[in-house]
Amino acid sequence: MDNQYRHKHTSVSLVNYHFVWCPRYRRKVLVGAVETRLRELIQEVAKKLDLEILALEIMPDHLHLFVNAPPTLAPHDIVARLKGVSSHHLRREFDHIARMPSMWTRSYFVSTAGNVSSDTIRKYIEMQKKRG
């Protein structure tokens, strides 16, 4: 897993999110062709949103997604776009999913993760006082 800092004109950032969400009623529908297509859709949306997929695991009844995101994107915007686009396409392409009341539950899990600890950041800040 490569934690690369994003360098922009006026900022440097490292924002990693771990997402987990599941289909409605935790149905085991994320298998076979659905899993393959879902993986493709997530990669397409990630590219459009400038997300770097660090890890993606699709289980029959849920998925784990670990991404590096730009600091301008809120986690709820990321998951809303991923769930919305994937639901739209999967429901149009697979009859058994189209019969479900909705593809995804409204809920999800998100956690932040970086590659430095709070202690490291604290020490860095303290060192800045001594440098000046």
For each of the domains in the chain, give its residue range(s) and CATH number, in order of start.
Answer: 6-131 (3.30.70.1290)
Residue type, 90: L
CA 45, chain centre distance (Å): 10
Q: The pTM is what?
A: 0.84
Q: In the chain, what percentage of residues exceed pLDDT 90?
A: 66
pLDDT for position 50: 95
Is 5 in the active site? no
The single residue of 17, 25, 108, 124 carrying the catalytic annotation is 124
pLDDT band at 109 (very low <50, low <70, confident <90, very high): very high
